Amino acid sequence: MTRAVYLDCNATVPVRPEAAAAIARALEAGGNPSSVHAVGRAARATVENARAAVADLIAAPPQTVVFTSGGTEANALAVESAVAVGARRLIVSAIEHDSVLEAAKASGAAVEVLPVTSDGVADLGWLAERLFRWDAADGKPFVALMLANNETGVIQPVKAASEIVRAADGWLHVDAIQAAGKMVIDSRGIGVDTLTVSAHKIGGPQGAGALTFGPRATLSRRLHGGGQERGRRAGTENVPGIAGFGAAAKLANTRELAPQAAWRDAVAAKLKAQGCVIMGEGAERLPQTLCFATPGYASELQVMALDLAGVMVSAGSACSSGKVKASHVLSAMGQGELASCALRVSGGWNTSEADWNRFFEAWSEAHSRHAARRAPAAAGVA
């Protein structure tokens, strides 16, 4: 029996054994990190050790790392904090994750979309011109630009964007959730004001995320209650989840994923030979992400055929309540009808070259069957 192949790591990476072990230890130890007795102090030490590990992953001072329930809450905290200090108009890139897009729409501020090129790279010329025309009545400019796209893997020119935003005395928020562990992140070096990461994208558990903030950002507490997270996020910390997050952060590194760029490119070349279109091919991308479209072959049909063959991929972002729908990212890239014919293949820390090869084998078989079914219908039309 052919073993199952999991290539949907941009949705959730399998939990690392070390993270699972850290979670189990924290669960067994128990304790509330706000308690002053021995068990409470031990729980506090677990949280702070994890905070240091996450901070090290993104080159941020540990005291600026705020733990949250996940990447969605972390992104919302950044957006809502900017609005709380007077941002009345938000610029959000067309390829942002829904957790940023929807938070911006719900904030009460006006929202403008930062366009991208056909390769999915933010148009910084547009951004510079727009900020040059900024109306002071709209408050401090706020710009959201993710570090790497979750669907295409395209890496964004965040450092250059930060120079433009800083020149306008603005606030740059960077969703680095998909980039963490796959590329080197120097949160201070690239000039961001807020930056978010999530545990389950690097081999930690679901339900734990973090936001780091720079000296130009003022956070506004969203959850009220106790003084946890230095008063920035009330509620007893999820110690087991945070412990797993820290363990995964210590292990996440670019070296273990770098070889997948060659495996991905080899598969991409075979796909192109069969008429597929590789998304973001002309831009710098994460090493283990491949997004491609097959003209005339609907995404949902491909996903189902591969699933039946024991190969798990996705049709884009996983955060759509289980629905397969045309990607707003690919639509923003001007891909039109191809947006509904795209697949995302993404590897993780335990992905092998054999997994990538098995994907192509299964996809090729499914594509051949699909083409054979379509041939009689096409002949009838002719």
Q: Which of 9, 276, 291, 319 is catalytic?
A: 319
Cα separation of 128 and 136, whole Å? 16
At 105, list the tokens: 């729409």
Is there a common fold for 5-13+255-381 and 17-251?
no
Q: Per-domain residue ranges for the chain?
A: 5-13+255-381, 17-251
Name the residue among 145, 151, 197 with its Cα closest to residue 171. 145
- Topology, domain 17-251: Aspartate Aminotransferase; domain 2 (3.40.640)
Task: Name the pairing type of β-strands 209-213 and 194-198.
Answer: antiparallel
CB 43 within 8 A of CB 349: no
CB 219 within 8 A of CB 232: yes
For residue 201, give Cα distances in angstroms to 33, 123, 181: 25, 27, 8
Cα separation of 337 and 210, whole Å? 36
CB-based burial of residue 109 (10 Å sphere; 0-12 exposed, 13-18 middle, 19+ buried)? buried
CB 142 within 8 A of CB 82: yes
pTM recorded for the entire structure: 0.94
Active site residue 319: yes
Name the residue among 335, 326, 343, 355 with its Cα closest to residue 271. 343
Cα separation of 351 and 171, whole Å? 37
The residues with which 42 forms a beta bridge, in sequence order, are none
5-13+255-381: CATH number: 3.90.1150.10
Each of the 382 residues of the chain gets a pLDDT tens digit; together they read 567 999 999 999 999 999 999 999 999 999 999 999 999 999 999 999 999 999 999 999 999 999 999 999 999 999 999 999 999 999 999 999 999 999 999 999 999 999 999 999 999 999 999 999 999 999 999 999 999 999 999 999 999 999 999 999 999 999 999 999 999 999 999 999 999 999 999 999 999 999 999 999 999 988 888 889 988 999 999 999 999 999 999 999 888 999 999 999 999 999 999 999 999 999 999 999 999 999 999 999 999 999 999 999 999 654 443 555 678 999 999 998 899 999 999 999 999 999 999 999 999 999 999 989 876 655 555 4
